[in-house]
Amino acid sequence: MISTQESIVSINPATGEELGRVPIYSAPDVSDAVHRVRVAQPAWNNLSFRERGKVIMRARRIILDEIDEIAQLISRETGKPIPEAISMEITPALDLMQYFARQAAKFLKSQKINLGMFKLLGRTSRIVYKPYGVIGIISPWNFPWSVPIGGVVMALMAGNGVVLKPSELTPLTGLKIGDVLLRGGLPHDLVQVVTGDGSTGAALIEAGTDKICFTGSVETGKRIAQTAARTLTPVLLELGGKDPMIVLEDSNLEAAARGAVWGAFANSGQACASVERCYVHESIAEFFINRVVELTGGLKQGNGCEDSVDIGAMSSERQLKIVEEHVQDAVSNGARILIGGTRLLESAQPGGLFFAPTVLSGVNHTMKIMREETFGPVLPVMTFRHESEAIEWANKSTFGLTASVWTCDLKRGRRIAEKLEAGTVTVNEVLYTHAIPQTPWGGVKQSGQGRTHGRLGLLELVLPQHVH
Ligand code: NAD
């Protein structure tokens, strides 16, 4: 039983409709949840990888059976179109569950080390990988299914228990994750979902977990790192981005224009890896920008639960205001709005939070729109003359999550990719690589520290022990 009487209300940002109420877990409630997980975890760790994998695969089956209902829930809590909920959240999570259910044993098998001259003295060494114990996962609202479920599944496969604190904007989706895992056969107390706002998240940092995996803004990430430093609790930080897209003169312009539109406007631009800045070579800029504006004009915006909607609502008034502020700042400093530029009127979408997909030209690096994370459906485009200029500008940022290069010369693309300061660089692709469970995900500079996904991500959830 939790002690609190306070609750938060989950709202559909496309309509303003109330979806449900959940309690705000207080600090004692959170401590109690951590304690219950700590008691349940050793028995789970004693199971084989195969047995743990079976539970994950059963939960996966339940998700498949209930995919429409889950997609509806995600769409209603975030405002994103149902096809986006399925393709960008549920399907990648299904893939991840299968991957780690099958591969964790191989990745975490104990390793014999060749000791060179010490071998001659008859010594042997092994590295064994032990779970941390209790992992605290704090997640954002923009991918309320795929981000937390990925972390939870990886932590479980490594033998940990988890306390999950979902975003206050998407608590029902967070609770659904706990629900499907439980019905898949997970031991009762092993995963606890503690709903609440920042105060619940802050309580989790202080509640004595063995590691915190945080996904969210740079500001909150820094605050968490400071608090965690007091007890030297390790933290994995997956933070924001200001991801550049470089379109070279030898690129496939139709593919690049479509990539820019999808990369900037999918999820209403509210992805950490959204295209937030576009640098296009001056020789092709006019054609490219015209095509981007034309494609943007063809997008249908509306309630994500309705048919054939391309771009949904924004998740919160707070986020919408940031987008408005960035666009106003850019325009008052000389930027031109080529399409969009404003929120949709109440009469167009009653009760909904919508910002029209927007393309800006005439931008520069003094503007917020080119420096700070906008996290909305805005694509500012700048032109460059030389490749070196584009690389310099792309790197001129405190962020470093993802970046992309567009060119038909793949050798050139790879060469430039390695010069870009980002955790992931794609050549002729944008945005989607968080969906790949096999490859590491994470940022450099203020976009975060540590990696999730892939073998490197799994190793973040275990303690290597040397047995000599
Ligand atoms: P946020 O930092 O406001 O909140 C994230 C989570 O932290 C929420 O659950 C919130 O309740 C909790 N929180 C707030 N204050 C806290 C505190 N003091 N201590 C502990 N927890 C606290 O971020 P948001 O607005 O929910 O999400 C958007 C941000 O997330 C963007 O910056 C985006 O780029 C980033 N993001 C990053 C990735 C990635 O993989 N790098 C993925 C998705 C989103």
Local mean pLDDT, 10-residue blocks, the chain (468 residues)? 82 97 97 98 98 98 98 98 98 98 98 94 96 98 98 98 98 98 98 98 98 98 98 98 98 98 98 98 98 98 95 96 98 98 83 96 98 98 98 98 98 98 98 98 98 98 98
Q: Six-digit token pair at 113?
A: 């080390």
What is the Cα–Cα distance from 425 to 326, expressed in whole angstroms?
26
Q: Which atom of ligand 1 is nearest to the CA of 223?
A: 18
Nearest CA to ligand 1 atom 35: 216
Q: Are 124 and 115 in contact (CB under 8 A)?
A: yes
Spacing, Cα 203 to ligand 1 middle (Å): 15
Q: Report the residue among 142, 320, 451 best suited for mutation to probe ligand 1: largest number of ligand atoms under 8 A from its CB.
A: 142
- 3-state SS class at 329: helix
Q: Which atom of ligand 1 is nearest to the CA of 401?
A: 41
77, 84, 213, 272: which one is catalytic?
A: 272
Q: Which atom of ligand 1 is nearest to the CA of 143?
A: 43
Spacing, Cα 238 to ligand 1 middle (Å): 9
What is the Cα–Cα distance from 28 to 3, expressed in whole angstroms?
8
**Burial of 389 by CB count in 10 Å (0-12 exposed, 13-18 middle, 19+ buried)?**
middle
Q: Report the residue among 80, 143, 167 best suited for mutation to probe ligand 1: largest number of ligand atoms under 8 A from its CB.
A: 167
Looking at the chain, the whole-number percentage of residues with pLDDT higher than 70 is 99
77, 89, 238, 276: which one is catalytic?
A: 238
Q: Report the residue among 272, 375, 402 best suited for mutation to probe ligand 1: largest number of ligand atoms under 8 A from its CB.
A: 272
Spacing, Cα 140 to ligand 1 middle (Å): 4
Spacing, Cα 221 to ligand 1 middle (Å): 7
Residue 6 appears among annotated catalytic residues = no
pLDDT computed for residue 351 by the predictor: 84
pLDDT computed for residue 1 by the predictor: 65
Q: Which atom of ligand 1 is nearest to the CA of 224?
A: 19
Q: Are 289 and 358 in contact (CB under 8 A)?
A: no
Residue 272 appears among annotated catalytic residues = yes
Angle at CA of residue 256, ends 248 and 396, nearest 5°: 55
Spacing, Cα 216 to ligand 1 middle (Å): 2
Site residues for ligand 1, CB cut-off 6 Å: 138-143, 147, 165, 167-168, 197-198, 201-202, 205, 215-217, 220, 223-224, 238-241, 272, 373, 375, 401, 443, 448
Q: What contacts 433, CB < 8 A, 6 or more positions away?
A: 273, 402, 424, 426, 439, 441
Please report, for residues 81, 168, 208, 400, the alpha-carbon distance to residue 14 in angstroms, rounded to integers and kept in the order given. 10, 17, 38, 31
Q: Which atom of ligand 1 is nearest to the CA of 448?
A: 41
Spacing, Cα 220 to ligand 1 middle (Å): 6
